[in-house]
Amino acid sequence: MTDKFVPEIMTELRNDIVRVPKVIKKCSGILIFGKKIRSIIFTTDIAIIRNTDADAVIAVYPFTPHPAITKSIIEAADIPVFSGVAGGLTHGKRSAYMGMFAEAQGSLGVVVNGPTPVETIKAIDDVVDIPVIATVTSFYSKIDEKLAAGVDIINISAGKDTVEVVKQFRQNYPDLPIIATGGPDDETIEATIDAGANAITYTPPSNGVLFSKKMEKYRKMEYDEDHHE
C-alpha cells in the first residue's frame, strides 16, 4: 500500500521551521489523551518551539523548575508540552506544587529527572491527572519502584549507550511507553526505534546556528543583487 498524498499548507514567512528528521515517523508513537506523539523536540527556546513541526516539546532545563518558565513555554507553544517539575535538588512538596501548576497551565505531562526520590514521584502522581515521565540515564536505573509510585512513561537519555539501554528496558518491560533520545543522525534514530522506542526526542540546532545559516543566506542575496546591477 502506497503512502497517501498529504497536502501541506505553508507560507513564505513560515517556510524556515525546524523540521524533525522524517525517519522518526517510523516509530509507533505514544497515544496520550487521543494525541499521537512520535517526535518530541528538546528545547526551552520559545522561538524554536513556535516554529517546528515536532509533535510535542519536552521542556526540561538545568535549573530549579519555576511556574513562570512553564507558563511562558506553554503560552508560546502550539504543540503539547511536557514540563520538567522535579530533579536532584527540587523535590518534595515543591515538585508536587509544580506538577499542579504545570497541569493547570496546560502541560500534557510532567517530567522528573533521574535522581528524583520515589516519595516525590508519588506526591506528584497523587495530585496530577496527566502522565508522569521519568528520565532514565543508564542500564542501572531502577524503575520498578518508580513505576509503582506512578511513573507512566520513561524517557531514556543514556548518551552513546541509549540504543542498548532502550533494548534492555524494552525486553524487561514489553508494554511500557518509552521515549528516547535519537542521536545525531537518521541511522542512530532508526536504531533507537528498532530497539523499542515508541517516541524520539530531537535536539534542534541552537538559535545561534540557525541564525548563522540565515545570515549566510542574506549575505548571498546582497552579493547577488550587487553583482546583478
With cut-offs at 50, 70 and 90, classify the pLDDT of residue 215: confident
pLDDT tens track for 26-46: 999 999 999 999 999 999 999
Q: Does residue 1 carry a pLDDT above 50?
A: no
Rounded Cα distance, 24 and 115, in Å: 28
Residue 85: count other Cβ atoms within 10 Å of its Cβ.
33
Q: CA–CA distance from 68 to each of 61, 75, 116, 145 (Å)?
A: 13, 11, 21, 31
Q: Is 27 strand, coil or helix? A: coil
pLDDT tens track for 138-158: 999 889 999 999 999 999 999
When pLDDT is averaged across residues 62-78 and rounded to a whole number, the result is 94
Residue 228 corresponds to which cell in the numbers above?
Answer: 546583478
With cut-offs at 50, 70 and 90, classify the pLDDT of residue 208: confident
Above pLDDT 70, what percent of the chain? 92
With cut-offs at 50, 70 and 90, classify the pLDDT of residue 10: confident
When pLDDT is averaged across residues 11-27 and rounded to a whole number, the result is 89
The arrangement of secondary structure in 22-228, i.e. its CATH architecture, is: Alpha-Beta Barrel (3.20)
What DSSP string runs through 144-164? HHHHHHT--EEEE--GGGHHH
Contact present, 179 and 152 (Cβ < 8 Å): no
In which element (H, E) is residue 102 found? helix 93-105
Burial of 155 (0-12, 13-18, 19+ CB in 10 A): buried
pLDDT tens track for 79-124: 999 999 998 778 889 999 999 999 999 999 999 998 899 999 999 9
Q: Specify the higher pLDDT residue, 208 or 132.
A: 132
pLDDT tens track for 159-189: 999 999 999 999 999 999 999 999 889 999 9
Biggest CA pair distance of the chain: 71
Q: Does residue 52 carry a pLDDT above 60?
A: yes
